[in-house]
Amino acid sequence: YGLRSSVSGHTSDVRCLVSCNYPVSGGFLTGSRDKSLKLWFPSAEGVGYEMMTSFRGSTHWIRQGSQKK
């Protein structure tokens, strides 16, 4: 296996990753020790990912993600 893509945006290490198919498929959330969650989706050009939004305000670093079915 080889690295296909990488994303930049957190100021500390990423501790969790959760797939997210809303509003479009192929997205994911990342949670970090910088106390933020970031929502990523495939870029319009079809190469790599773009950060759609960042959620801040946690008093602790993000270490776990969960997804309800």
Mean confidence (pLDDT) of the chain: 84
Residue 52 in this model has a pLDDT that exceeds 50: yes
Q: For residue 30, which of 69, 67, 62, 68 has the smallest C-alpha distance? A: 62
pLDDT score for 69: 47
Write out the two tokens for 10: 């957190």
Per-residue pLDDT at 65? 57
Residues 7-28: b if buried by 16+ CB within 10 A, e if exposed: eeebeeeebeeeebeeeeeebb
Residues 23-32: pLDDT tens digits?
778 899 999 9
Q: Which tens digits make up the pLDDT trace of 6-23? A: 899 999 999 999 998 877
Task: State the average pLDDT over residues 34-55.
Answer: 90
